[in-house]
Chains A and B, each alone.
Chain A
Amino acid sequence: MSKKFLAVTLGILTAVGGFVDIGDLVESGVVGARYGMAMVWVTVLGVLGICVYADMSGRIVAVSGRPVFDLIRERLGPRMALVNLAGSFLITLLTVCAEIGGVAIVIELASGVDRLVWVLPIGVLIWLVVWRVGFERMETGFGLGGLAIGVFAVAVFFLHPDWSSLGAQVAGLAPPPDQALPTYAYHAVALFASAMTPYEVFFFSSGGVEEGWTVKDLSVQRANVLLGFPLGGLLAIAVMACSAIVLFPAGVDVSQVSQIVLPVTLALGTAGLVIVLIGIFAATFGAALETGLSSGYMLAQYFGWDWGKRRAPRKAARFHLTVGVGLLVAVLVVQTGLDPVGLTEISLIFSAVALPLTYLPVLIVANDREYLGKHANGHFSNIVGVGMLVVIAIAALVAIPLMIFTGAGQ
């Protein structure tokens, strides 16, 4: 009993720490500085969406023993799956770039040495971890490390905010009067996409296969999703709150990660800074591993190659080669000096465009009783799932027009 309790707790904590990546961090900081707490509802909506669809993906894996992408190809045919693959693969590669950029910035903040110096060593280190470290150890280690981001929540209290003002911002929902509605909508779409990034579903379901989930594990994985992700969402809200308390009143527009970290430094001094840098390092490095692996998972599952970290690299050579090449491409892109925050914003907007390609097939497969039997979607999952799909479709449709019209949220 206590062993199972420990396993469930560890899974939840890993899910909490693994929830926040560079996208959540940057976009929560940006909207907190720009709109105060007015966009908390978007984070809540995004967390609801990822919970519903991660739960479906978990059931698909636990019942069928096969990853979601594999079933999408079988159920919807290779052509539809190819469209899904093309969109999701490119977005995931863009996300790898953003995560590597995030890791480089953290090391720059800790050392003062320019981030571009660190990009290649980071790429090599990620590849080594993918190659040498076991799946569960990797996921648990970086997931627990990511919990250090909880220092944002501690900082909120040490900043002694005007709670009634923060509450009014949360309840206000709308942008401040001096902010344009299209820009508000642009950032809402980006924040929503940060919670529902497509790689999360592919990594979650492929990870389920790596860990050998069965129907017996359904309750544990459901606890991970339904407790871990919302608690992770609270961390994202804490990042937003720190920006809302310190940067919003000062009229500072966030355009650098250093600005997002500043409120924690001001509230908790050097100790807080060290903890937050450890947390961001673990979160972005862990997400770089997940996105790097996800790019390999997608291709391998589409083409029917052997895949996974549970297999020796020489037995899944094409999978490991894909991951390695993906990392190399990402390193080269980041090494050009592209602004990581801008890169993150763009990856989020294009993620929003690709969201229906990821989530519609999941909804279809989760409703197929041939695959899932009695574990297929019930009424509640379908109502929430379809509702979220409508939101996803709207976000996908407006993402690019809003990006062009607002000059990427300027």
Chain B
Amino acid sequence: MIALRRTRLCAVTVVAVAALTVACGADPQAETVHAGREIRGQLELLRLVVTADRAEVPPVPSLSVTVRDAADELGAAGKDVGELTDDRARAALASITDRAVAVAHRLDEGLGDGTDEGLDAIDAELQGLVAELARWGVTS
């Protein structure tokens, strides 16, 4: 009798966990925020590079590698975005990702002779992309 109860309890638990997993996985808003967070993290990382004290931190190879790595990570995040179930969110985040990758590449090319004005313009673009993500609920 006890064994039967245990079996039922286990079955109910498994079904509940499965249902919860499916429910969580199917929440479009949660999916969007999850995918957006990775993009936002890389945008903030690029902002850290751009807003560094330019007298103290000249364009050394390590920063170029950081920017290239960020571009790679954004590319990987783009794949997650492609799996979003909400069509509008997918299109918006894909657009943001594409523009972020483009900015990262420009930044990589511009680090060597980056003027203050150029870097400030890139920072403004990055801030704009972060603001766009915020409109989709990606705020942290």
- Taking beta carbons and an 8 Å cutoff, which residues of A are in contact with B? 108-112, 178, 246-247, 250-253, 255-256, 258-259, 261-262, 265-266, 268-270, 273, 277
Inter-subunit contact A269/B73 (CB<8 Å): no
- Taking beta carbons and an 8 Å cutoff, which residues of B are in contact with A? 37-38, 40-42, 44-45, 47-49, 52-53, 56-58, 60-66, 69, 73, 140
Residue from B37, B40, B48, B58 having most chain A Cβ neighbours under 10 A: B48
Residue of A nearest to B51 (CB): A266
Q: Which among A110, A250, A262, A270 is the interface contact of B66 at CB below 8 angstroms?
A: A262
Q: Which among A108, A110, A261, A265 is the interface contact of B52 at CB below 8 angstroms?
A: A265
Inter-subunit contact A270/B41 (CB<8 Å): no
Inter-subunit contact B58/A270 (CB<8 Å): yes
Inter-subunit contact A265/B45 (CB<8 Å): no
Distance in Å: Cβ of A261 to nearest Cβ of chain B: 6
Distance in Å: Cβ of B67 to nearest Cβ of chain A: 9
Distance in Å: Cβ of A118 to nearest Cβ of chain B: 13
Q: Which among A108, A253, A269 is the interface contact of B41 at CB below 8 angstroms?
A: A253
Extra 9 A-B pairs, beta carbons < 8 Å, given A109-B62, A251-B140, A258-B69: A110-B62, A112-B64, A253-B37, A256-B66, A259-B66, A269-B53, A270-B60, A273-B60, A277-B62
Bound complex: CA A31 to CA B45 (Å): 16
Inter-subunit contact A273/B62 (CB<8 Å): yes
Q: Which among B48, B65, B73, B140 is the interface contact of A266 at CB below 8 angstroms?
A: B48
Inter-subunit contact A256/B41 (CB<8 Å): no
Inter-subunit contact A262/B49 (CB<8 Å): yes
Inter-subunit contact A111/B48 (CB<8 Å): no
B38: chain A residues at CB < 8 Å are 253
Residue from A258, A270, A273 having most chain B Cβ neighbours under 10 A: A258
Bound complex: CA A111 to CA B65 (Å): 9
Distance in Å: Cβ of B137 to nearest Cβ of chain A: 12
Bound complex: CA A222 to CA B33 (Å): 51
Inter-subunit contact B45/A266 (CB<8 Å): no
With A262-B49, A265-B57, A269-B56 in contact, is A251–B65 under 8 Å at CB? no
Bound complex: CA A110 to CA B56 (Å): 17
Bound complex: CA A108 to CA B64 (Å): 10
